[in-house]
Amino acid sequence: MSKTEKQSTPQAVRLDKWLWAARFFKTRSLCKDAIEGGKVSYNGSKGKASRNVEIGALIGIRAGWDEKVVKIKAISEQRRGAPEAQLLYEETPESIEKREKRVLENKSYGGRIMSDHKPNKKERRDIKQLKQDIFGGME
């Protein structure tokens, strides 16, 4: 088997290593922490860092207010530049639509979430209600 054949067909690649190579996280330890913390799902179920990824699998990634669902198009274990990393996955249309809707909701709320003071009782209730409306009681 030649060297070029080995590079074109990577063997099994772990989920944490693929997320790192696709540039979703800066380090593999951050990938592992996110996976163990329940921020990453693999084909709709809880992800495991040691799980081998497959082309066509759906990965859900939640980071702060942002949630993405991406489909694996290619497998790589090497971290490269951002343009090459974006070729490894494709975000689903439903995910794009959902994120755009959430951005509009946040803008329509008037940006009152971020403030220069500690929220009072009414503001805490409003923030809690907004989170419940957006995430549907996931927290």
CATH number at residue 74: 3.10.290.10
Q: Which domain holds residue 73?
A: 15-111
- Would you say residue 60 lies in a domain? yes
If pLDDT is split at 50, 70 and 90, which confidence band does 24 have? very high
- Would you say residue 66 lies in a domain? yes
Q: What is the pLDDT of residue 2?
A: 42
pTM: 0.69
- Would you say residue 3 lies in a domain? no
Structure tokens, 11: 């063997």
Strand locations in 1-139, DSSP E? Answer: 40-42, 45-46, 58-63, 66-72, 89-91
- Would you say residue 4 lies in a domain? no
Nearest-10 crossing angle of helices 121-135, 93-108: 160
- Would you say residue 8 lies in a domain? no
Number of domains in the chain: 1
Q: Quickly tell me which residue has 């860092």 as its tokens.
A: 49
- Would you say residue 118 lies in a domain? no
> Over the chain, what is the mean pLDDT?
84
